[in-house]
Amino acid sequence: MAAELNGKIAIVTGAGSGIGQAITRLFCAEGAWVLAVDRDANGLAETLGQCPPGQFGELVGDVTDAALPDAIRKALPGPLDILINNAGVGAGGMIEATSDDDLRRFFEINVVGLFRLARMGVELMKKRGGSIVNLASIFAEIGATSSAAYSASKGAVASLTRQMATDYGPIGIRVNSLGPGLIETPLTRDRIRDQAWRRTIFIDQAPLRRVGQPEDVANAALFLASDRSAFITGELLRVDGGWAMGRYPRETI
């Protein structure tokens, strides 16, 4: 079977760990040339250590830096086909425990930084079309405990995705988002292990009865980035083991 992304040029932000790392490695394996972007140089080195030589570039940078889009433009070897806006921040608290500074931080990283890169992606794809995939969250659709600023920021990502899909579909740019549920990454692993209530709500009460892995999200990103989803735009694809459909008892038929 031919590689899904042969000859494609892609950008993946937050590529140094977790979901971004899994996406970068999968895209390289599927034939894309990937520009891996992260503020953690060591994380980038770990990610790219498993990618074929000559199949990637790396850029140490922070999505909150307004100069990052220009640095990315200079690092690309050719026309952009795919942009994966993965970099983001999670956790948080209830609204009365969320300061103005906390709120600004979530929006600066999850929304403003993503917005700038999405704008850059549109500019680079205008002549040829392409696919933009924004990492939202299942919390963009479903209320969850103690995530006021995070949920608000991811809701903004989902709305921006729909608007961009409407605006740029006529010139061949598809824009979709992913809604991961509980995914086991370096940022969530300790919480999954130490918080029994989290395991009960997100694993025991989900239809598939397991925690998600970064590779689960990477496979969904590959689908949305590839020509297999050529007639899909403006969607939020849930990758949550069925959790968002509702809570389910442990008993099975």
Q: Which residues are catalytic?
A: 150
DSSP letter at 78?
A: S
Whether the CB-CB separation of 87 and 63 falls below 8 Å is answered with yes
* 52 DSSP 8-state letter: P
Measure Cα distances from 64 to 61, 74, 108, 116, 157 in Å: 9, 18, 6, 9, 15
The span from the CA of 229 to the CA of 174, in Å, is: 9
Hey, what amino acid is at 89? V
Element (H, E) at 173: strand 173-180
Angle between helix 18-29 and helix 214-225 axes, rounded to 10 deg: 50
Please write down the HEC assignment for all residues of 191-212. Answer: HHHHCHHHHHHHHHCCCCCCCE
